[in-house]
C-alpha cells in the first residue's frame, strides 16, 4: 500500500519497472505503462485512458487517480523486458543488419544505439529510453493488421 503524494505516479512506475536509470524519461515511462496491454485495458474500463491532446502532466494525474481508485483491484502489468523480449528485439536488429552476430549478447545499454537506428530507418518517433525503443520496435514488427494503435500524448 502506498500513500498519496504528488510523486505517486512515478513512484508506482518505478516499482513496476517502467522508470529507472536505463528508462529515465518520465514521458516515455508513462507512454510504455499506458500502452502495456493489460494497463491499457484497465485504464479504458476506468475511462482514464490518455487522449492525444493530453500532456504528460495530465497523464500523470489520470494514473494517480487510477492508482488511488477503489474501483479496481490495483493489479497492474509490470514491464515485460525479460530475456526473451530482449532477445526478440536483438533478433529484429540483427535481421535488419543493425547488429553483428557477436553483438547478440550485448547489454541493454549497448542496444540503444542500434535501436535508435532502427527507429530512424522506419520513421518511428525517436525515443531515449530502452523500454520505449523496445516497445516501438516490437509494435512496428508486429504485422497483425488487427493490432490496436499505440496511445500517444503530448510531452
What is d(CA 50, CA 136) in angstroms, rounded to the nearest whole number?
A: 18
Residue 150 or 28, more confident: 28
3 sits in which H/E element? none
**Domain boundaries, given as residue ranges, for the chain:** 8-68, 83-141
The reported pLDDT for the residue numbered 71 is 85
The reported pLDDT for the residue numbered 107 is 87
103 sits in which H/E element? none
The reported pLDDT for the residue numbered 74 is 82
Tell me: pLDDT of 133 over 80: yes
pLDDT digits 0-9 by tens, 83-100:
888 999 999 999 999 998
Q: pTM to 2 decimals? A: 0.92
Displacement of CA 131 from its chain's centroid (Å) = 5
Amino acid at each position: 500500500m502506498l500513500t498519496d503524494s504528488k510523486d505517486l505516479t512515478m513512484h508506482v512506475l518505478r516499482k513496476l519497472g517502467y522508470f529507472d536509470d536505463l528508462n529515465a524519461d518520465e514521458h516515455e515511462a508513462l507512454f510504455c505503462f499506458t500502452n502495456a496491454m493489460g494497463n491499457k485495458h484497465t485504464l479504458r474500463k476506468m475511462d482514464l485512458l490518455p487522449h492525444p491532446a493530453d500532456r504528460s502532466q495530465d497523464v500523470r494525474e489520470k494514473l494517480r487517480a487510477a492508482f488511488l481508485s477503489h474501483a479496481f483491484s490495483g493489479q497492474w502489468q509490470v514491464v515485460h523486458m525479460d530475456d526473451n523480449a530482449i532477445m526478440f528485439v536483438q533478433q529484429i536488429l540483427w535481421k535488419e543488419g543493425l547488429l553483428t552476430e557477436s553483438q547478440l549478447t550485448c547489454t541493454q545499454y549497448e542496444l540503444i544505439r542500434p535501436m535508435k537506428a532502427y527507429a530512424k530507418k522506419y520513421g518511428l518517433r525517436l525515443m531515449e529510453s530502452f523500454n520505449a525503443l523496445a516497445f516501438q520496435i516490437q509494435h512496428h514488427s508486429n504485422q497483425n493488421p488487427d493490432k490496436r494503435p499505440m496511445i500517444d500524448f503530448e510531452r
